[in-house]
Structure 1
Amino acid sequence: MMRIRLAREGDAQGIAYVHTESWKTTYRGIVPDDVLDHLTTESRLSQWEQQLQSSEKDQILIVAEDQDGKIVGFACGGKEREALPYDGELYAIYLLHSYQKSGIGRQLVKQVVHHLKTCQMRSMIIWALEQNPACRFYEKLGGIPVDTKWVRVGNIDLAEVAYGWSDLTSFHHSLVQMIGILSKSEPH
């Protein structure tokens, strides 16, 4: 049984682990190997400790735990940061490779979208490296490419694409329906 909950003090280690391991499995062959080979949980730990201590009311950080209480995924979001015509942004969503394509990603997105809506945000974007296999996930969820920029990772420049949803109310409704359909089709 998977549990989705708000992140809390003490979760930084698990979040940093998922963050680094997801990068290593998702971006191998996209991002330079030396960048991935030097990623460690410890290198991301202070970032997530600071995030957990942040008192930004419009931001949310949620985790997915397995039945043993191990963090296997997380998502975070808040106000849009690039001055695009969108209110909210899904800053990051990561799952350990073995938990991908199980419906957990949709549940994490649903929780972030719900939070953004409660903060009066009506639209949302997410930035993803153009070669990231998760781009298909965002497209299946109805995300439309709305912008592109270049980012330097290691010693190379990579294209990053913004996927946008202009109506969070209808997007949230379709997510709830998708999750309901998926859970009804799973064996009991």
Structure 2
Amino acid sequence: MEKIILEIDNGVRTLVTLANKLQDELGNEPVSSEVRQAIKMFSSSHKNYITAINENSANQVAEAAQAICLWSILLANAVSSSENQEVKTFKNKLGVNAKNLQKMIENSALLMFPLSDDERLETTNDMQDFESLKKEMKKVFQNQSTHYEDLKTILTESEKKTISLKQDIESLEDIYNNKIGSISTEYSQFFLNKIQSF
């Protein structure tokens, strides 16, 4: 743990040196409110870092150092439009060193803890609700599919009955026509016989 703190402290010292040199190179050059804000917050974060070092709080040291890294990166980005070559040199060094230190802190044991109850995922119930919804939707789909198949069967049977009924009607028409034809023939023959008998 002490080794990590020393590495962080060396990294912070490097950032402070680079930030001071960058500020010196800016000199009387007009700067934006973004640059002024980044320098102000860098200084504030560095004060918090010194306090954390004096209180021997490893977690607070890591968090304060991370804040310094953040404002170092923002300061480097804020002066990126400067035409001063020395400013460009120091802002590049500041940005690179800040990113490297930030990565080292993030991967260190200082900021690794077991998940607290408040930090644990709260999606279990939501996922259960979603799974339940999926099951209900599947059941509805299956019911609709069954209903569709039932309707299809009913329609098929209706079509068969319609065809059968049509055939029966056609058969009855044939029988009717044959009977009418037979009766007409018999009546014709009857009247012909009557006429001949006179």
TM-score, with length taken from structure 1 = 0.28
Q: Of the two, which has the highest radius of gyration?
A: 2
Q: Which structure has greater helix proportion?
A: 2
Q: Which structure has greater strand proportion?
A: 1
TM-score, with length taken from structure 2 = 0.27
